[in-house]
Amino acid sequence: MKKLKEFKTILNMAKKYKLKILLCFLGIFISSFSYILIGYLNGRALEEITKLNLNNAILFLLIYLFSEIFGSLLERFSFAKLSKIETKMARECSYLTYQKVLSLPAYAFEEKTSGEFINRVTNDTSTIINSFDEIFGIVTRLIASGIIYIYILYNSYIIAIEIIIFIVIFAFVVKFFHPQLEKVHKKRKKINDEAVSQVTESIRGVREIKTLGIKNSLFYNLRELIKKSIEASNSEIDLYFIYDIISNVLKSFLEVGSFITGAILLYKGQISLTFFIAITYYIYRYTWIIENITSFTKTYNEVLVSVTRINEILENKLFPDVKFGKKHLKNCEGVINFNDVSFSYPNEGDVLKNFNVTFKPHQKIGIVGKSGQGKTTIFNLLTRVFDTKVGSITIDGINIKDLTEEDLRKNVAIIRQEPFLFNKTIRENFLLLNDKMHLKDIREYCKMSYIDDYIMSLPKKYDTILGEGGVNLSGGQKQRLSIARALAKQSKIILFDEATSALDNESQTYIKKVIDDLVKDHTVLIIAHRLSTIIDADIIYVVDNGEVKDIGTHKELIKKSPTYKQLYNSELK
pLDDT at 202: 66
pLDDT at 108: 74
pLDDT at 210: 53
**In this structure, are 235 and 270 located in the same domain?**
yes
**In this structure, are 270 and 382 located in the same domain?**
no
* pLDDT per position as a tens digit, 136-146: 667 776 777 77
**In this structure, are 386 and 302 located in the same domain?**
no
3-state SS track over 217-243: HHHHHHHHHHHHHHHHHHHHHHHHHHH
What CATH number is associated with residue 419? Answer: 3.40.50.300
Residue 258: HSE in the Cβ half-sphere, 13 Å Cα cutoff: 31
Residue 156 pLDDT level (bands cut at 50, 70, 90): confident
Residue 212 pLDDT level (bands cut at 50, 70, 90): low
**In this structure, are 475 and 546 located in the same domain?**
yes
Segment 514-543 shows an average pLDDT of: 81
Which residues form the domain of 118?
14-314
* pLDDT per position as a tens digit, 343-389: 887 777 778 888 888 888 888 888 888 777 778 888 888 888 888 88
- Choose the weakest-confidence range: 84-88, 186-190, 211-215: 211-215
**In this structure, are 432 and 555 located in the same domain?**
yes
Residue 6 domain-assigned? Answer: no
Segment 493-520 shows an average pLDDT of: 72
What single-letter amino acid sits at 7? F
Q: In what order do the strands lie in the sheet with 350-359?
A: 350-359, 336-344, 390-395, 398-399
Segment 402-428 shows an average pLDDT of: 84
**In this structure, are 226 and 357 located in the same domain?**
no
Segment 216-233 shows an average pLDDT of: 77
**In this structure, are 412 and 487 located in the same domain?**
yes
Residue 529 pLDDT level (bands cut at 50, 70, 90): confident
Residue 45 domain-assigned? Answer: yes
- pLDDT over 70 percentage in the chain: 85
- Choose the weakest-confidence range: 218-222, 354-358, 407-411, 462-466: 218-222
**In this structure, are 296 and 218 located in the same domain?**
yes
Q: Report which listed range, 72-81, 178-187, 525-534, is most confident.
A: 72-81
Residue 320 domain-assigned? Answer: no
Domain boundary among 257, 284, 314: 314
| d(C-alpha 87, C-alpha 84), whole Å | 5
What single-letter amino acid sits at 112? K
- Choose the weakest-confidence range: 198-207, 215-224, 407-416, 445-454: 198-207
- pLDDT over 90 percentage in the chain: 1
pLDDT at 54: 82
pLDDT surpasses 70 at 211: no
Segment 31-56 shows an average pLDDT of: 77
Domain boundary among 284, 314, 344: 314
The answer to whether 373 and 549 have CB atoms below 8 angstroms apart is no
- Choose the weakest-confidence range: 80-89, 118-127, 202-211, 273-282: 202-211
What CATH number is associated with residue 114? Answer: 1.20.1560.10
pLDDT at 533: 74
**In this structure, are 54 and 161 located in the same domain?**
yes
Residue 130 pLDDT level (bands cut at 50, 70, 90): low
**In this structure, are 366 and 305 located in the same domain?**
no
Q: How many domains does the chain have?
A: 2
**Euclidean distance between the first and final Cα of the chain, in Å?**
69
Domain boundary among 245, 279, 314: 314
Q: What is the DSSP string of 106-153?
A: TTHHHHS-HHHHHHIIIIIHHHHHTTHHHHHHHHHHHHHHHHHHHHHH
Residue 485 domain-assigned? Answer: yes
Residue 27 domain-assigned? Answer: yes
3-state SS track over 283-326: HHHHHHHHHHHHHHHHHHHHHHHHHHHHHHHHCCCCCCCCCCCC
pLDDT at 3: 59
The answer to whether 308 and 97 have CB atoms below 8 angstroms apart is no
pLDDT at 297: 64
**What is the average pLDDT value for the chain, to the nearest integer?**
79
**In this structure, are 138 and 257 located in the same domain?**
yes
Segment 425-431 shows an average pLDDT of: 87
Residue 353 domain-assigned? Answer: yes
Residue 213 domain-assigned? Answer: yes
Residue 497 domain-assigned? Answer: yes
- Choose the weakest-confidence range: 128-132, 177-181, 393-397: 128-132
pLDDT at 506: 65
* 202/461: higher pLDDT: 461
| d(C-alpha 393, C-alpha 118), whole Å | 33
pLDDT at 2: 53
* 215/318: higher pLDDT: 318
Segment 6-23 shows an average pLDDT of: 77
**In this structure, are 27 and 116 located in the same domain?**
yes
